[in-house]
């Protein structure tokens, strides 16, 4: 009955809710450090704007996100027609996969990176080439170039990378993009670009004039704290945007989401405040990890990838103690919480690491 490609996929499993976890472990508070949401919330102006809105529940929303589109164009530079909006960046990933991929095609992506690139390529029946990240968590861009062949339609670069927080420098990305054949789409997922402080970080928009095959992705879910409103967008050449727009469901951004995003976009001081706090917590966190000799990847985002043995076990212990984090094969991804939460968390993490390594060595004996 179903597409063959669904056989090996699992539906997204959000796990038990915060309320359920509180009950399960008898906790009065649970700190969510597992989804890279903005721990400082959203601009207070958003709440005002959506309550003041005319609402008009019976009408379809603006199919073009016109006000938001014009404001983004004004702030970022590309023409209004170069933008495409999705119900979160997640939907943009679906649209790209739908527009470009079919059986016989392939994508090239890093591993680990954002899972949805893999999932939707699989659904379209395309071959998924996962190129392992280097030991320091960075995309192995030279190996990724090698993995491209005549079947390749899309190459995914997550910059900074989720879950490692590492990035390709401008020099590396220049070389990479220049070496990719012009009939292969290079997607630069910049979901975390607002958090970046590195001077040699490349702005994806700078490639749009010279490369029709580059597409830049951004979202309101992370730095703007609007994950619940589901707005992300792509910026690219008219050739690419116009094809993607054929696949897009016409009214995919609710009216209130458009109002929320436009309001958040205009509140520069809220965002700058979040970024500053994020930097302070990052400095405290890396100093702690260094002092304790716990390995981590250098991150430019609002999360950090901490290399531990037994990531699942560590995440479970943290959960039992009221901290939700995300386990991967070689480590755990931790959203940078507020300063006090993060200090508590790091102590918990340290004892969880000590506990599990004692357990592992006693098993070996």
DSSP letter, residue 96:
H
Closest CA to 193 of 163, 227, 158, 226: 158
Enumerate residues 20-79 that contact ligand PLP by CB under 6 A.
36
Q: What is the dihedral of CA 284, 288, 291, 295, to 10 degrees?
A: -110
CB of 282 to ligand PLP, least distance (A): 17
Shortest reach from residue 361's CB to ligand PLP, in Å: 35
> Between 110 and 149, how does the x/- string for binding to ligand PLP read (CB under 6 A)?
----x-----------------------------------
Kindly report the length of the chain: 365
Residues 6 or more apart whose CB falls under 8 angstroms from that of 171 comprise 200
Count of residues near ligand PLP by CB under 6 A: 13
> Cα(first)–Cα(last) distance of the chain, in Å?
51
Instruction: Please report, for residues 260, 275, 281, 354, the alpha-carbon distance to residue 287 in angstroms, rounded to integers and kept in the order given.
Output: 36, 18, 10, 18
Tell whether residue 336 is a contact of ligand PLP (CB under 6 A): no
Helix (H) or strand (E) segment spanning residue 74: helix 66-76
For residues 303 and 353, which CB has a smaller minimum distance to ligand PLP in the complex?
303
Closer CB to ligand PLP, residue 259 or residue 317?
259
328: Cβ–Cβ under 8 A, 6 or more apart, which residues? 112, 163, 305, 311
Contacting residue, 46, 84, 85, 90, with ligand PLP by CB under 6 A? 90
Q: Which residues does 38 contact at the CB level (< 8 Å), separation at least 6?
A: 222, 223, 224, 225, 227, 274, 302
Of 178, 176, 171, 161, which is closest to residue 200 (Cα–Cα)? 171
| Nearest CB to ligand PLP, comparing residues 36 and 356 | 36
88 is a site residue for ligand PLP (CB under 6 A): yes
Give me the 147-186 binding string for ligand PLP, x by CB under 6 A, dash otherwise.
Answer: -----------x---x------------------------
**Residue 106 or residue 219: which is nearer to ligand PLP going by CB?**
219
Q: By rule CB under 6 A, what string of x and - marks binding of each residue 224-253 to ligand PLP?
A: ---x----x---------------------
With binding defined as CB under 6 A, does residue 262 bind ligand PLP? Answer: no
Q: What is the nearest approach in angstroms of ligand PLP to the Cβ of residue 352?
A: 25
Q: What is the closest distance, in whole angstroms, from the C-beta atom of residue 88 to ligand PLP in the complex? A: 3
Instruction: Provide the greatest CA pair distance for the chain.
Output: 69
> Which chain residues interact with ligand PLP by CB under 6 A?
36, 88-90, 114, 158, 162, 189, 191, 219, 221, 227, 232
């Amino acid at each position: 009955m179903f597409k063959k490609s669904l056989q090996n996929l699992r539906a997204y499993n959000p796990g038990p809710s915060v309320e359920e976890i509180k009950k399960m472990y008898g906790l009065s508070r649970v700190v969510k450090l597992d989804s890279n949401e903005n721990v400082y919330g959203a601009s207070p102006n958003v709440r005002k704007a959506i309550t003041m809105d005319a609402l008009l529940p019976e009408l379809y929303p603006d199919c073009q996100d016109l006000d938001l589109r014009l404001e983004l164009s004004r702030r970022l530079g590309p023409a209004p027609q170069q933008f495409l909006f999705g119900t979160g960046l997640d939907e943009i990933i679906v649209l790209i996969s739908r527009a470009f991929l079919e059986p016989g095609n392939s994508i090239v992506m890093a591993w680990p990176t954002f899972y949805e690139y893999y999932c939707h390529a699989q659904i379209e029946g395309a071959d998924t080439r996962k190129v392992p990240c280097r030991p320091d968590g960075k995309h192995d861009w030279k190996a990724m170039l090698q993995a491209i062949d005549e079947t390749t339609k899309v190459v995914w670069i997550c910059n900074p990378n989720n879950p490692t927080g590492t990035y390709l420098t401008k020099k590396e990305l220049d070389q990479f993009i220049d070496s990719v054949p012009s009939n292969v789409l290079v997607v630069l997922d910049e979901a975390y670009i607002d958090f970046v402080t590195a001077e040699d970080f490349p702005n994806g928009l700078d490639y749009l004039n010279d490369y029709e095959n580059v597409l830049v992705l951004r979202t309101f879910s992370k730095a703007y704290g609007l994950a619940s409103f589901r707005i992300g967008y792509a910026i690219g050449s008219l050739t690419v945007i116009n094809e993607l727009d054929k696949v897009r469901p016409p009214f995919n951004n609710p009216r209130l989401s458009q109002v929320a995003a436009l309001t958040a976009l205009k509140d520069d001081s809220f965002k700058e405040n979040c970024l500053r706090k994020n930097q302070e917590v990052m400095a405290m966190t890396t100093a702690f990890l260094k002092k304790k000799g716990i390995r981590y990847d250098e991150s430019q985002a609002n999360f950090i990838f901490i290399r531990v043995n037994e990531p699942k076990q560590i995440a479970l212990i943290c959960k039992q103690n009221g901290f939700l984090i995300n386990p991967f094969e070689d480590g755990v991804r931790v959203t940078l919480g507020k300063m006090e939460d993060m200090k508590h968390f790091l102590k918990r993490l340290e004892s969880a690491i000590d506990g599990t390594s004692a357990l592992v060595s006693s098993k070996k004996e």
